[in-house]
Structure 1
Amino acid sequence: MELFSYMEEDDYEQLVICQDKSSGLKAIIAIHDTTLGPALGGTRMWTYNTESEAIEDALRLAKGMTYKNAAAGLNLGGGKAVIIGDPRKDKSEAMFRAFGRYIQSLNGRYITAEDVGTTEQDMDLIHMETNYVNGTSTVAGSSGDPSPVTAYGIYLGMKAAANAAFGSDILRDKTIAVQGVGHVAYTLCEYLHDEGARLVVTDINEAAVKRAVDAFGAVAVEPDDIYDVECDIYSPCALGATINDDTIPKLTAKVIAGSANNQLKANHHGDLIHNKGIIYAPDYVINAGGVINIADELNGVYNQERAMKKVQAIYDNLMRVFEISNNDNIPTYIAADRMAEERMTAIKNAGKQFLSTEKSVLTNK
């Protein structure tokens, strides 16, 4: 890949290549934008086919975190790290401590947390070398598993989307098709069941499906059949890219709201569902509960009640996205980007004004 051209296109700030021969560490830290504050984003461990693939994933995910943090109203920029390796067999204390030293060398420009392939225990090892890590185990006094808080944010975001689509955010008697019932989605289903929604669920894990059926009286369908379900709301909570050319014609839902990342296979799929009149809650806005939860640790001592209260802003943030979409007649995925970019631009301009004033004072001296 033409690395500098790629970085220039979306104005990335920094790319750090980390290598430690003795532990086998091969990692990339990407920092996209620190206009709003230090870059916060998790560390993903994955068996990438090529080094270029790993670099591209880190860069793409870092940009996504910039927009997620900005849209969530956090004073944080966007960054991401990836470690090349099999999380089932390649982990070691030495590897994560070496990685922690690389994070420490950035002096706070990048703060990490857990992500796909990493755990709270991995964050504990990183924490031995740096304080610029969140999401360590609760034994260490931090926020721990963010799944319950993420689920709460999805629930509130779904209510906002329902308000935009149906004129009311009441989910009682609404039929909601939930794709994937892992940690986040199971807790989401608890909220939905308590409100009186009718649940249709699917997952490649049969035990997860049975658990939801037994606990909530959900109707189970095969994974490929979830798109054909007659429902009010489709909630993608597993793989990304499930909104695509094949699935869009099948969807009967008036709302798409779920926890999965990268729900649109391509941007034009956001245009297609907009033209169909489907209200789509952009993924990085609705699933920001986890990062809001982790960011609360930056206050010094994590407070779950305070974090949950901050997550309530997801409802208002989505209502703002829907307002922009309606006023400008644009798809919600574009409206979400616009909302995030407006905040970053405002802060960036404010920073320029401050620097300009400081410089003029020095000149006058």
Structure 2
Amino acid sequence: MPTTTPVEPLAVFDRSDDLATAGHEQVVFCRDDRSGLRAIIAIHSTLLGPALGGTRFKAYPHESAALVDVLRLSQGMTFKAALAGMPLGGGKAVIIGDPDTLKTPELLAAYGGFVDRLAGHYVTAADIGTTDADLDIVGTRTRHVTGRTRAGGGSGDSGRSTATGVFEAMRAAAELVWGDDGLRGRRVGVEGVGKVGRHLVDLLLAAGARVAVADASPAALARLRADQGAAVAVLPSVIDADVDVYAPCALGATLDAGSVGRLRARVVCGAANNQLASAEVDELLAARGIVWVPDYAANSGGLIQVGGELLGWSAAEVEHRIHDVGLTVRGILTTAAATLLPTGRVADEQARARLNR
């Protein structure tokens, strides 16, 4: 008799996982039958300012998985903004479905209408499955959007800014582990070479690192080969490869008890959100002597760009703050080494300290 995998009941407040005490302020379910839109917007905190976070467009196996994802992502945005010293709160949205088949101007405009009903408590931006061009369409129905195309009055795609922040974070970790040479001569395994990972590869090669990549998308690999040729090795997987640094830049939750046991890297630093399958993995990494740069500390460059656009910062101010990601990470790792605490716990404590102030 066939069996089915049990699905956790859909819930926001009455949960049994680590999100039960996360303290989300508002969760909105959005439905528009005419366009086929099914979306969830989660506002985790507006304590420091309006909740800013991207919109992820993804085919989820069921609605419960979409809810878990948006709750975790929005909480991460709160901590990301706090560590980056920005007067912004944390939010996130997910549109449920395959963007290759479901995304239309009508759907994006309908989504913009739902964002507008939140009256600025949530400001949206791009994420996996959405682009700055999509935000131009969303922006036809709401002004609470940032990261539109330059032609549309925005700061453009934030992938390069995110990659720059990750690179600065990775360089800070490498210098603490291996000394002043940092990433030079080190082998870095980049998992995912989309709109962030491909820019990270360019920065790593320029710094003298040796780069191996893995990606499930043949198109993404073809674009990388066209840009870099034989300078980059392509592997089926990099998480368990013979690399010094593992850089997850695709989807999250790649680090669990099993994968941590197979890691050969000394440093983990990447652009993916929610890299740990559960909070306990932070301690597993520390126990193995693996330096994990907490994802919301490393990948804040994109937030700094679109948040800076929202706040009216100059391009020079945005660039300066993105390069300061390395200083923030150095402080987290130094404190963790001095206190013998896992890096994730230290980053959480620093973010909560700012929220409490």
Q: TM-score scaled by structure 1?
A: 0.86
Could you tell me which amino acid in structure 1 is paired with residue 231 of structure 2? A
- Summarize the Cα distance change of 1:90–1:239 in structure 2 as closer, same or farther, 3 Å threshold: closer
Contact 1:213 1:220 in 2 (8 A): no
Counterpart CA distance in 1 for 2:238 and 2:46 is 43
Partner of 2:139: 127
Counterpart CA distance in 1 for 2:104 and 2:229 is 40
- Aligned residue pairs, count: 344
Q: Which runs of 5+ in 2 are unaligned?
A: 1-9
1:337 aligns with 2:348: yes
- Deviation digits for residues 294-335 of structure 1, max 9, x if unmatched? 1111134x7443322110121111112113312332111111
Percent identical among aligned pairs is: 41
Partner of 1:54: 66
- Deviation digits for residues 92-142 of structure 1, max 9, x if unmatched? 333322222222222211100112222222211111121100111221121
Tell me how far 1:22 sits from its aligned partner.
Answer: 2.8
Counterpart CA distance in 2 for 1:188 and 1:284 is 16
Tell me how far 1:17 sits from its aligned partner.
Answer: 2.4
Tell me how far 1:160 sits from its aligned partner.
Answer: 0.8
- Summarize the Cα distance change of 1:225–1:186 in structure 2 as closer, same or farther, 3 Å threshold: closer
Partner of 2:91: 79
Partner of 2:81: 69
- Summarize the Cα distance change of 1:199–1:93 in structure 2 as closer, same or farther, 3 Å threshold: closer
Could you tell me which amino acid in structure 2 is paired with residue 5 of structure 1? D
- Summarize the Cα distance change of 1:44–1:236 in structure 2 as closer, same or farther, 3 Å threshold: closer
1:29 aligns with 2:41: yes
- Deviation digits for residues 234-272 of structure 1, max 9, x if unmatched? 222233233333333333322111222222222222212
1:3 aligns with 2:16: no
- Summarize the Cα distance change of 1:169–1:288 in structure 2 as closer, same or farther, 3 Å threshold: farther
Contact 2:256 2:281 in 1 (8 A): yes
1:241 aligns with 2:250: no
Could you tell me which amino acid in structure 2 is paired with residue 203 of structure 1? D
Could you tell me which amino acid in structure 2 is paired with residue 201 of structure 1? V
Partner of 1:114: 126
User: Matches of residues 197-276 of structure 1 in structure 2 within 5 Å?
Assistant: 197-206=209-218, 208-209=220-221, 211-212=224-225, 215=228, 217-224=230-237, 227-229=240-242, 231-276=243-288
Counterpart CA distance in 1 for 2:98 and 2:74 is 21
Q: Which runs of 5+ in 1 are unaligned?
A: 347-365
Of residues 286-295 and 306-315 in structure 1, the stretch that sits farther from structure 2 once superposed is: 306-315
Partner of 1:361: none
Could you tell me which amino acid in structure 2 is paired with residue 313 of structure 1? D
Q: TM-score scaled by structure 2?
A: 0.88
Tell me how far 1:217 sits from its aligned partner.
Answer: 4.4
Q: Which has the higher helix share?
A: 1
Could you tell me which amino acid in structure 2 is paired with residue 116 of structure 1? I
Contact 1:186 1:212 in 2 (8 A): no
Tell me how far 1:59 sits from its aligned partner.
Answer: 1.9
Counterpart CA distance in 2 for 1:219 and 1:54 is 34
**1:227 partner SS:** coil
Partner of 1:16: 28
Two-structure CA RMSD over aligned residues (Å): 2.3
Counterpart CA distance in 2 for 1:285 and 1:332 is 10
Instruction: From the CA coordinates, give the structure whose radius of gyration is larger.
Output: 1
Partner of 2:154: 142
Counterpart CA distance in 2 for 1:159 and 1:216 is 24
Contact 2:126 2:135 in 1 (8 A): yes
- Deviant stretches of 4+, over 6 Å: none
Counterpart CA distance in 2 for 1:52 and 1:244 is 20
1:311 to 317, 322, 325: 322
